[in-house]
Amino acid sequence: MHLHRNDIQNMIKTRFAPSPTGYLHVGGLRTALYSYLFARKNQGKLVLRIEDTDQERFVEGAMENLIRTLDIMGIDYDEGVYLEKSVVSDQWSVIEKGDFGSYIQSKRSGIYKRYAEELLSKGYAYRCFCTKERLEKMREDQNARKLPPMYDRKCAYLSEDEIEAEVKKGSSYVIRLKIPQESIIAFDDAIRGHVEFRGYLIDDQVLMKSDGLPTYHLANVVDDHLMQITHVIRGEEWLPSTPKHVALYDAFGWEKPIFAHLPLLLNPDKTKLSKRQGDVAVEDYLAKGYIKEALLNFIALLGWNPGTEREIFNLKELTEQFDLSRIQKAGAIFDHAKLDWMNGKYLREMPIEELAREVFGILKKEDWFHLDINDEYFVEVLKLAKDRMTKFSDAIALMKFFLVENFDYDTKLFINEKMKVDLEISKTALAKSLIALEALNTEDFKNEEKTKEVLIKVVANLGLKNGQVLWPIRVALTNESFSPGVFELLRVMGKERSLERMKMAFKLLTTLPTLLN
């Protein structure tokens, strides 16, 4: 399908237009990312516009949070709303840059009113004086008759005299779009191809509310035209609204932008992605220790593919590869396991110093973490843990036992029926291993081959199997049933820390018979 645009300009221009009603949803991030990639791929521009016409849903601070999150994720833009830090304080303020402002819809009400009046004068819109009570009764009747909820056009047929009389009375009214009932409204979607809607199935959308503020539908069309947007990339949920927008473009005599409706994001059970089934806010994923580059890479592949088996891309590579024609129509599954895999891949390729800074930032918030751990030990512990990490926050569980000073041992862990280890064997294994390991000097203790040689002799002398000796040592060092191997643990923890823990565990085991009696 060949899509073209002749009248507005040669430069491609996209926009991301979120509502400041809370956090940035991962679906919103995908829309912003695709709009960014398409603009950059085609040497175009990206606009950030804030659509805050629904003041009832406005959340204080949400606009600033959206801007910060886009900045953190590396999605820059060319016009719109920005944050600027004061030169004399730590305060941040919202500023606007560009030739088509304001980029905040609540500051453009006069513009929308003017265009609504134009539609009225041309007969493409009408005043609706129906009360809230009448509309509710109408919907109840429609529901009872299993009809789609649509305005019944009562006010579409009022005479000029009737309209004038209502206005003179001071009756409250909204302005509705007058959809041509016999028409077929059609457009070409860059992802879904040719789309048609029957006019009689489209509701006469409210364009201006009784408080004088526009609805999304009027504001978005007017702004996209005035800001010279050439491509509207947005979620599939807006597809049913598109014929209303097309009708508005036709009514104004404006050229339509090219629409591209992205597939829904779905949970693994094919339901629409929602907070009820897990995190949906970008900031939640960042707070849990996901790497922004990995999250962006993962989000990019939710509905788009490069046509190859390759899955790892940085932002520059995504820009080079991106093409609207490779976006699927079917819903995209948000697979958390795939995100964990991808994040782990990014994490393991990070320079260890950078990884240490990220992990330290998370661990220092934990009560059990003591800041007197030296850098060298911290990095060695991290090297051991990182291969088992998928995100920064995994370090809490994987590194905890390396960093705490004292354990409240779970004595049941010293019993392992599968390995045929009971409390008596654990106690004996620890006692003999302590004697053997004490004989090693500090340097040899850090040599895994040396500690292995020593402990294998203990196994032989006791007539036990490897696991019967190594299991109680593992528990003594970590108070965990899953951990890195014993010889790795001994090397990283070093002689003093390792022997101290083994002695602590042995002392506990020697008191157990008394406690049990």
Return the closest-CA partner of residue 70 out of 46, 92, 54: 46
The predicted model gives 484-488 an average pLDDT of 94
Per-residue pLDDT for 369 more than 60? no
- Distance in angstroms (rounded) separating the CA atoms of residues 155 and 175: 10
CA–CA separation, 291 vs 496, rounded Å? 35
Share of the chain above pLDDT 90, in %: 80
Contact between 264 and 272 under an 8 Å Cβ cutoff? The reply is: yes
**For residues 53-73, average pLDDT:** 91
Residue 221 reports pLDDT greater than 90? yes
CA angle 336, 40, 27 (to 5 degrees): 30
Sign of the dihedral defined by the CA atoms of residues 55, 60, 62, 68, in that order: positive
CA distance 348 to 388: 9
Residue 515 has a pLDDT of 42
The answer for 417, left when phi > 0, alpha when psi is -120 to 50, beta otherwise, is alpha
> What is the model's pLDDT at position 516?
47
**Nearest 5°: CA angle at 386, between 384 and 391?**
155
- Answer whether residue 277 shows pLDDT above 70: no
pLDDT at 512: 75
Query: Which residue type occupies 410?
Result: D
Got the DSSP string for 364-417? TTSTT--TT--HHHHHHHHHHHGGG-SSGGGHHHHHHHHH-S-----GGGG-BT
Mean pLDDT calculated for residue range 85-113 = 91
CB contact at 8 A, 349 and 389:
no
| Furthest CA-CA distance within the chain | 109
Please give the average per-residue pLDDT across 361-388, as a whole number: 79
Query: What's the per-residue H, E or C state across 305-347?
Result: CCCCCCCCCCHHHHHHHCCHHHECCCCEECCHHHHHHHHHHHH
- Beta strand 231-235 pairing with 206-208: unpaired
Q: What is the pLDDT of residue 276?
A: 62
| pLDDT, position 171 | 95
Q: What is the DSSP letter of 45?
A: E
Please tell me the distance from the alpha carbon of residue 267 to that of residue 377, in angstroms, as a whole number. 41
> What is the rounded average pLDDT for all residues in the chain?
92
Q: How far is CA 69 from CA 22, 91, 301, 314, 346, in A?
A: 12, 17, 20, 18, 20
Report yes or no: 210 and 129 within 8 Å, Cβ to Cβ: no
pLDDT at 396: 84
> Does the pLDDT value for residue 4 go beyond 80?
no
Q: Does residue 3 carry a pLDDT above 50? A: no
Q: Read off the pLDDT band of 1 (50, 70, 90).
A: very low
Catalytic residue among 85, 154, 275, 465: 275
CA pair distance 326, 87, nearest whole angstrom: 45
CB of 185 closer than 8 Å to CB of 199: yes
The answer to whether 176 touches 125, Cβ cutoff 8 Å, is yes
Instruction: Provide the pLDDT for residue 402.
Output: 86
What local confidence, expressed as pLDDT, does residue 370 receive? 57
**pLDDT on residue 5:** 47
Query: Has residue 236 got a pLDDT over 80?
Result: yes
* Confidence (pLDDT) at 75: 97
Per cent of the chain over pLDDT 70 is 95
Active site residue 275: yes
Grade residue 517 by pLDDT with cuts at 50, 70 and 90: very low
Please write the tens of the pLDDT for every residue from 6-46.
444 579 999 999 999 889 999 999 999 999 999 999 999 99
Q: At residue 2, does pLDDT exceed 70?
A: no
φ, ψ of residue 479 to 5 degrees: the values are 60, 30
**pLDDT tens-digit readout, 387-410:** 999 999 898 888 888 888 778 899
**Closest residue by Cα to residue 222 from 164, 260, 177:** 177
Q: What is the pLDDT of residue 85?
A: 86
User: Residue 92 pairs with which residues in a beta bridge?
Assistant: 85
- What pLDDT score does 275 carry? 64
Please give the average per-residue pLDDT across 470-484, as a whole number. Answer: 93
- Give the pLDDT confidence score for residue 513 in this predicted structure: 62
> Residue 460 above 90 pLDDT?
yes
> Contact at 8 Å (CB) between 300 and 239?
no
pLDDT tens-place string over residues 127-147: 999 999 999 999 999 999 999
Q: pLDDT class for 53, splitting at 50, 70, 90?
A: confident
HEC readout, 255-280: CCCEEEEECCEECCCCCECCHHHCCC
Q: Using an 8 Å Cβ cutoff, are 208 and 105 in contact?
A: no
Total-model pTM: 0.87
* DSSP codes, 86-151: -SSSS-EEEEEESSS---BGGG-HHHHHHHHHHHHHHTSEEEE---HHHHHHHHHHHHHTT-----
Token digits of residue 452: 């292995």
